[in-house]
Amino acid sequence: MCSPFRSLSRLRDVLLLGGVLLAVGPGCQRSSRTLLETAPMSAKAERDRPARNPYEDNAYAMTEGQRLYEWYNCSGCHARGGGGIGPPLMAKTWRYGKEPGGIYTSIVEGRPNGMPSWRGKMPEYQVWQIVTYVQTLDADRSIASPPGPREEHMQAGEGASSR
Amino acid sequence: MARIPTWVPRDDGQWLHAAKDYASTRFSSLDQIDARNAANLRLAFSFSTGVSKGHEAAPLVVGSTMYIVTPYPNYLYALRLEKSAATVKWTYKPNPDPAAQGVACCDVVNRGAAYADGKIVFNTLDGQTIALNADDGKEIWKTRTGDIRHGESITMAPLVVDGKVLVGNSGAKFGVRGKLTALELANGKVAWTAWSTGPDRDVLLGSRFHPFYAADRGRDLGVTSWPPDAWKIGGGTVWGWISYDPALNLVYYGTSAAAPWNADQRPGDNKWTAAIFARDPRSGEAIWAYQSNPHGLFDYGGVNENVLVDLPWNGAFRQVLLHADRNGYVYVVDRATGEVLSAKPFTRVTTSTGVDTNTGRPREVSEKRPEIERTVRDICPASAGGKDWQPSAFSPRTGLLYIPENNLCEDAEALEANYIEGTPYLGANIKMYAGAGGHRGALDAWDPVAGASVWSRKEKFPAGSGALVTAGDLVFYGTLDGWFKAVDARSGNLVWQFQAASGIVGQPITYRGPDGKQYVAVLSGVGGWAGLTVSGDVDPQDGTAAWGFAYATKDLPQATRKGGMLYVFSLP
Amino acid sequence: MRRTAWSAALLLPFTACRASYSALDTASPEATRITNLHWLILWVTGVVSLAVIAALAIALTRRRTAETRAGEGRRARAVAAAAIVSTALLLWLLTASVLAGRAVATPVGPGALRIQIVGHQWWWEVRYPADPPSDTVITANEIHVPVGRAVLLELSSTDVIHSFWVPNLNGKKDLIPGRPTRHLLRPERTGVFEGRCAEFCGYQHAHMGFVLIAEEPDRFATWLASERRPASEPIDAAARHGREVFLSSACVSCHAIRGIGAFGHKAPDLTHLASRRTIGSAMLPNTDGPLAGWIVNSQHIKPGNHMPPNLLPADDLLDLVSYLRGLR
pLDDT for position C2: 57
Q: Is A19 on the interface with B (CB under 8 A)?
A: no
CATH code: domain of residue B379: 2.140.10.10
- Please tell me the total number of residues recorded for chain A in this structure: 163
Mutation test of the interface with chain B: which of C179, C265, C266, C269, choosing the one with the most B Cβ atoms within 10 A? C265
Residues of A in contact with C250 (CB under 8 A): 41, 120-123
Print burial letters for C265-294: b (CB count within 10 Å at least 16), e (below 16). bbbbbbbbbebbebbbbbbbebeeebbbbb
User: How large is the average pLDDT for residues B147-156?
Assistant: 96
The larger pLDDT score, comparing residue A3 to residue B398, is at B398
Residues of C in contact with A72 (CB under 8 A): 253
User: Which residues of B lie inside 8 Å of A (Cβ-Cβ)?
Assistant: 98-105, 173, 415, 418, 420, 422-426, 532, 536-547, 550
3 state DSSP class of B399: coil
Grade residue B102 by pLDDT with cuts at 50, 70 and 90.
very high
- Could you give the 3-state DSSP secondary structure of residue B141? strand
Contacts (Cβ under 8 Å, ≥6 apart) of C306: A67, C121, C266, C267
Would you call B137 an interface residue with chain C, using a CB distance cutoff of 8 Å?
Answer: no
Q: What is the pLDDT, as a whole number, of residue A154? A: 31
Cβ separation of A82 and B546 shorter than 8 Å? yes
Torsion of CA A32, C265, B263, B323, to 10 degrees: -110
What percent of chain C shows pLDDT beyond 70? 94
Enumerate residues 6+ apart whose C-beta is below 8 A from C46: none
Confidence of residue A151 (pLDDT cuts 50, 70, 90): very low
pLDDT of res. A147: 40
Tell me the backbone φ, ψ of residue B335, rounded to 5 degrees: -80, -5
pLDDT digits (tens, 9 = 90+) for B29-85: 999 999 999 999 999 999 999 999 999 999 999 999 999 999 999 999 999 997 667
Judging contacts by C-beta atoms under 8 Å, the chain A residues touching residue B426 are: 73, 76
* Domains defined for chain A, CATH in brackets: 1-36 (no CATH), 38-146 (1.10.760.10)
Q: Which of A66-80, C67-81, C260-274 has the lowest mean pLDDT?
A: C67-81
Q: Flag the least confident range among A43-47, B287-291, B305-309, B391-395.
A: A43-47
Which pairing describes strands B316-324 and B307-313: parallel, antiparallel, or unpaired? Answer: antiparallel
pLDDT confidence of residue A141: 58
SS3 assignment for A124-135: HHHHHHHHHHHH
Report DSSP state, residue A123: B
Omega within 30 of 0 (cis) for the link into B272: yes
Q: What is the pLDDT of residue A91?
A: 86
Question: Could you tell me the pLDDT band of residue C94, with boundaries at 50, 70 and 90?
Answer: very high
d(CA B16, CA B26): 11
A26 touches chain B (CB under 8 A): no
Residue C313 vs residues C235, C316, C318: alpha-carbon distances, Å: 22, 5, 9
A159, A38, A33, A46: which is closest to A99 by C-alpha? A46
Would you say residue B5 lies in a domain? no
C313 near A CB under 8 A: no
pLDDT score recorded for residue C105: 83
Q: Which residues of B touch C156 (CB under 8 A)?
A: 372
Q: What is the pLDDT of residue A28?
A: 65
Distance CA B451, CA B447 (A): 6
Residues B308-316: what's their mean pLDDT?
95
Residue B258's beta-bridge partner residues?
B235
Instruction: Judge whether B34 lies within some domain.
Output: yes
Query: By C-alpha distance, which of C260, C219, C268 is closest to C240?
Result: C260
State the pLDDT at residue A44: 62
Min mean pLDDT across B172-176, B203-207, C17-21, C276-280 is at: C17-21
Across C6-20, C152-166, C180-194, least confident range: C6-20
pLDDT > 70: percent of chain B: 100
* Contact assignment for B547 to A84 by CB distance below 8 Å: yes
CA distance to partner chain C, nearest, from residue B70 (Å)? 35
Phi, psi (deg, nearest 5) at residue C304: 95, -10
Give the closest of B101, B415, B536 to A83, CB-based.
B536
Contact (CB<8Å) C250/A120 = yes
Residue A11 has pLDDT above 90, yes or no: no
Which run of H or E residues covers position A139?
none
CB contact under 8 A, B227 and C133: yes
* Chains contacting chain B through 3 or more C-beta pairs under 8 A: A, C
Give the separation between CA B138 and CA B161, rounded to whole angstroms. 22
Overall domain count for chain B:
1
* Residue B554, Cβ density class (10 Å: 0-12 exposed, 13-18 middle, ≥19 buried): middle
Sign of CA dihedral B371, B372, B378, B379: positive
Mean pLDDT of chain C: 91
Whether ipTM exceeds 0.95: no
pLDDT of A158: 29
Instruction: Give residue-wise pLDDT tens across range A116-127.
Output: 999 888 888 999
CA separation, residue B91 to residues B50, B136, B415 (Å): 12, 9, 45
- pLDDT tens string C246-272: 999 999 999 999 999 999 999 999 999
Is the confidence at residue A5, as pLDDT, over 60? no
Residue B291 near residue B301, CB atoms below 8 Å: no
* CATH value of C1-20+112-328 in 3.40.30.10, 2.60.40.420, 3.50.50.60, 3.90.1150.10: 2.60.40.420
CB count within 10 Å of CB B280 equals: 17
Can you tell me the mean pLDDT for B371-382?
89
d(CA C25, CA C43): 18
- The answer to whether C283 touches C194, Cβ cutoff 8 Å, is no
What distance in Å separates the CA atoms of residue B420 and residue C254, rounded to the nearest whole number? 8
DSSP, collapsed to helix, strand or coil, labels residue C298 as helix
d(CA C298, CA A12): 45
Name the pLDDT band for A152 (thresholds 50, 70, 90).
very low
Give chain C positions within 8 Å (CB) of B420: 252-253, 264
> Smallest Cα–Cα separation from B254: which of B281, B272, B270, B233?
B272
Average pLDDT of the segment spanning A75-88 = 92
Instruction: Give the DSSP H/E element, type plus range, for residue A163.
Output: none
Dihedral sign from CA coordinates of C318, C320, C326, C328:
negative
When CB atoms are compared, the residue of C132, C158, C259 closest to B268 is: C132
pLDDT surpassing 70 at residue C219: yes
Q: Are B122 and B129 in contact (CB under 8 A)?
A: yes
C265 touches chain B (CB under 8 A): yes
pLDDT at B543: 83
- Residue A9: the pLDDT is 78
In a domain, B6, yes or no: no
At A77, the amino acid letter reads C
Task: Please report the pLDDT score of residue C10 as a whole number.
Answer: 60
Q: Which of A18-32, B455-469, B535-549, C304-318 has the lowest mean pLDDT?
A: A18-32
Instruction: Evaluate if residue C8 carries a pLDDT over 90.
Output: no
Rounded (5°) CA angle B165-B171-B175: 130
Comparing A7-21, B254-268, B537-551, C313-327, the range with the smallest average pLDDT is A7-21
Contact B271, B286 (CB under 8 A): no
Contact of C229 with chain B, judged by CB distance below 8 Å, is answered with no
Tell whether the model's pLDDT for residue B484 goes beyond 80. Answer: yes
* Position C67 pLDDT exceeds 90: no
In angstroms, what separates the C-alpha of A12 from chain C's closest C-alpha?
A: 36
Gap from B264 CA to chain C (nearest CA, Å)? 12
pLDDT at C17: 60
**B409 vs C199: CA distance, rounded Å:** 39
Strand order in the sheet with C181-185: C137-140, C123-128, C113-120, C151-157, C181-185
pLDDT at position B552 over 70: yes
- Which is more confidently placed, B473 or A157? B473
The domain of B106 spans: 27-570
pLDDT tens digits for C143-164?
999 999 999 999 999 889 999 9
Find the residue in C nearest to B222 (Cα).
Answer: C134
The residues, any chain, with a CB within 8 Å of residue C181's CB and separated by 6 or more, are C154, C155, C156, C173, C174, C175
In a domain, B16, yes or no: no
**DSSP-assigned states of every residue in B43-84:** EEEEEE-S--S---PBPEEETTEEEEE-STTT-EEEEEE-SS
SS3 category, C53: helix
Distances (CA, A) of B290 to A99, C13, C219: 53, 68, 41
Query: Could you tell me if A159 lies within 8 Å of chain C, comparing CB atoms?
Result: no
**Burial (CB count <10 Å: 0-12, 13-18, 19+), residue A18:** exposed
- Confidence (pTM): 0.90
Strands C278-279 and C191-197: unpaired
Q: What is the mean pLDDT of residues C287-301?
A: 93
Q: Is residue B300 part of a domain?
A: yes
DSSP B540: T
- Angle at C139 (CA atoms; ends C137, C145), nearest 5 degrees: 75
For B402, B519, C22, C149, C297, the CA distances from B492, given in Å and listed in that order, are 10, 21, 77, 67, 69
With CB atoms and an 8 Å threshold, state whether C308 touches A125: yes
Residues B66-77 have pLDDT tens digits of 999 999 999 999
Q: Is B127 left (phi over 0), alpha (psi -120 to 50) or beta?
A: left
Average pLDDT over residues C107-123: 92
If DSSP codes are grouped into helix, strand and coil, which group holds residue C112? Answer: coil
Contacts of B550 in chain A (CB under 8 A): 79, 82-84
Q: Nearest Cβ partner of B418 from C134, C138, C265?
A: C265
Please name every residue paired with B144 in a beta bridge, in sequence order, or none if there are none: B128
Lowest pLDDT segment from A29-33, B111-115, B332-336: A29-33
Interface list for A 36-95 with C (CB within 8 A): 36-41, 67, 71-72
- The residue count of chain B comes to 572
Question: DSSP string spanning B239-295?
Answer: -S-EEEETTTTEEEEE---BSSS-GGGS-S--TTTTEEEEE-TTT--EEEEEESSTT
| Position A46 confidence tier, pLDDT thresholds 50, 70, 90 | low
Residue B10 lies in a domain: no
% of residues, chain B, pLDDT over 90: 95
Secondary structure element (H or E) that encloses residue B333, with its range:
strand B329-334
The reply to whether C49 touches chain B by the CB within 8 Å rule is no
Compare CB distances from A36 to C248, C303, C311 and report the shortest one's residue: C303
C-alpha closest to that of B54 among B72, B38, B39: B72
Q: What is the DSSP track for B182-214?
A: EEETTT--EEEEEESSS-HHHHT--TT---SSG
The Cα of B232 is separated from the nearest Cα of chain C by a number of Å equal to 8
**Domain segments of chain C: what residues?**
1-20+112-328, 29-104
**Residue C72, pLDDT score:** 84
